[in-house]
Structure 1
Amino acid sequence: MNQSYYVKLDAFEGPLDLLLHLIHQYEIDIYDIPVAQITEQYMEYIHTMQQLELNVASEYLVMAATLLELKSHMLLPRQEWQDPDEEYSEDPREELVQRLVTYRTYKQAAQQLGEMEKGTNQTFMRPPAVLSGTEPYEPVQEKTLSIYDMIHALKRMNDRHRWNEPLETRVKTGEIPLEERMTAVLETVKHHDNGIAFTQLFVYPSRSYIVVTFMAILELMKNNDITCRQEESFGELYVFYSLGD
């Protein structure tokens, strides 16, 4: 009996992380969140994750319910939720905003500590050397990609092309071995010195093929065999072969 191909990704950090990603991506003021817009975008991500049978933790669904409730609340005329006996009535978004601000503070602190640790690990001492005829090295600044950027790229691919065959409700185990797909993706990327568009790695319009290809890309990135770059928000993602250190 075939079992479903169920994917668990450690890269998902939680619903607040996804909300912060959306706020940054759409350049939204965290203190004045357009609830209808953020709810719509959040639900699109959840739908895509479920469609690909990624492991959507219950906390994502709880946040989805919270956003939908908040959206319905905000759609009411202001006088229906404002206490007439008070000059000031708490904004229904206030609790969510405070949670996001607190989460962002801790996230930024963790990132700074991570950068400090990384910088320390890359510090080496060596005797002075004379370098002549060389150009000063300027590191290339690239947009840091998250798991949500990858999911968004998949969603855009789906919206543009639509899968022609009826999608199975379950992805069957063993239909496409992950290791085999990883090898194929790596070989494809190796033959493109200037990188290959992320969408070009998804040749066949079947859910099993798309899910396993997506997982293969994530595993290869985790192993530092390939890198994925995006020049700007909403731009095309490109996959490059990693030459190593």
Structure 2
Amino acid sequence: MERYSVQIDTFQGPLDLLLHLIQQAEVDIYNIPVAEITEQYLHYVQTMQELELDIASEYLVMAATLLEIKSQMLLPGEEDPGEDAFVEEEDPRQELMSRLVEYKKYKEAAVELREKEQEGAGRYAKGSSMDEEAIEEKYAAAVPENLSLFDMLDAYQKLKERVRYHTPKETKIKGGEVTIEDRMTSILSFLEDKQNGITFIELFPSGERSHMVVSFLAVLELMKHKQITCVQEENFEEIMVYQTEEELVGE
């Protein structure tokens, strides 16, 4: 498969990924389980590299920072020669926790401002040939901010686990490669008569790694160009995929 770099607006940075992992693990931001979060963070970075996403160097810097904090927390405390008790040392997580708290504060403020903007501007253009109420009902939850790239990576990782456990040990090797452009076309064609949408996993009929990677990158490109909408009603639930309003109107 040729190298293909994908950039998407919801890919916001390493602090965003850390907040996602903390939310997923349901842990206190002031008491981060560094070993667990570091392992999961590295897993995400490895997945992004596997998919050949355009990873900024800051992701690798954060990975190094997490590994350094993890190693510091594994070291025993230094005992004061003149005292029986251990010297109280600064928590090596402190600086990172402060950055996360500050980032979370500004992110929540940005979301609140965006919601107020949407209330005044509305979400859909007037003059559509489709019934506007029907469109709003179907796509009310399809706001880009409700679904990040990290949620998509979650779904991809779960898909890989499912394929690993259900793929037979003996498989037939199929020749030929499918390009991302071809896969984008086939996905749109598949969605044409699916008015109620499909689940994310239905886009991956093949368990072949190359086909899975191409399909995932095709989904990201279609999202980027607003040709499809991916909706997740609740955190970590099944992702639903719909053709966007513009695509449906143009048929």
TM range (shorter): 0.7 to 0.9
Change (3 A) 1:82 1:52: farther
User: Is the contact made by 1:164 and 1:205 (CA closer than 8 Å) also made in structure 2?
Assistant: no
Give the superposition deviation at 1:216.
Answer: 1.9
**Whole-angstrom distance in 1 between the partners of 2:91 and 2:214:** 44
Per the alignment, residue 57 of structure 2 pairs with 58
Question: Pairwise CA RMSD of aligned residues?
Answer: 3.1
| Alpha-carbon contact 1:202-1:210 (below 8 Å) kept | yes
CA displacement at 1:98 relative to structure 2? 0.6
Task: Tell me, in whole angstroms, the C-alpha distance in 1 between the residues paired with 2:81 and 2:89.
Answer: 6
For residue 17 of structure 1, report the CA deviation from its aligned partner: 0.8
Moved more, 95-104 or 175-184: 175-184
Letter in 2 for 1:8: V
1:102 and 2:99 are equivalent in the alignment: no
Q: CA deviation digits over 1:21-71, x for unaligned, max 9?
A: 111222221111111111111111111111222222211111111111111
CA contact (8 A) 1:198 1:237 kept: yes
Distance 2:6 2:195 in 1: 32
Post-superposition offset of 1:200: 1.6
Deviation at 1:164, TM superposition (A): 7.3
Structure 1-normalised TM-score?
Answer: 0.77
Measure, in 2, the Cα distance between the counterparts of 1:219 and 1:187: 15
Give SS of 2:151's match.
helix
Greater helix content = 2
The number of aligned residues is 221
Partner residue in 1 for 2:133: none
Structure 1 unaligned spans of 5+: 124-136, 166-173
Match of 1:9 in 2: 7
Partner of residue 203 from structure 1, selected from 202, 205, 211: 205
Report matched runs for 1:69-148 at 5 Å: 69-77=68-76, 79-80=77-78, 88-122=88-122, 144-148=146-150
Q: Which residue of 1 aligns with 2:162?
A: 160
3-state DSSP of counterpart to 2:78? helix
Instruction: Say whether the 8 Å CA contact 2:200–2:241 is kept in structure 1.
Output: yes
The answer (yes or no) to whether the contact 1:228–1:240 under 8 Å persists in 2 is yes
TM-score by length of 2: 0.76
Q: 1:141 to 1:182 in 2, by over 3 A?
A: closer
Q: Deviations over 1:94-127 (max 9, x none)?
A: 000011111112222222222222222229xxxx
User: Residues 90 and 6 from structure 1, CA distance in 2 versus in 1: closer, same or farther, beyond 3 angstroms?
Assistant: same
Aligned to 2:40: 41
Fraction of identical pairs, as percent: 50
Structure 2 spans left out of the alignment, 5+ residues: 124-136, 170-175
- Opposite residue 6 of structure 1, the aligned amino acid is Y
Q: Alpha carbons of 1:201 and 1:92: their partners in 2 closer, same or farther (altered >3 Å)?
A: same
After TM superposition, the structure 1 stretch with the greater mean CA deviation from structure 2, 58-67 or 191-200, is 191-200
Q: Go from structure 1 to structure 2 and tell me whether the alpha carbon gap of 1:55 and 1:33 turns closer, same or farther (over 3 Å shift).
A: same
CA displacement 1:162-209 (0-9 Å, x = unmatched): 2779xxxxxxxx943333211210121223333222112112333432
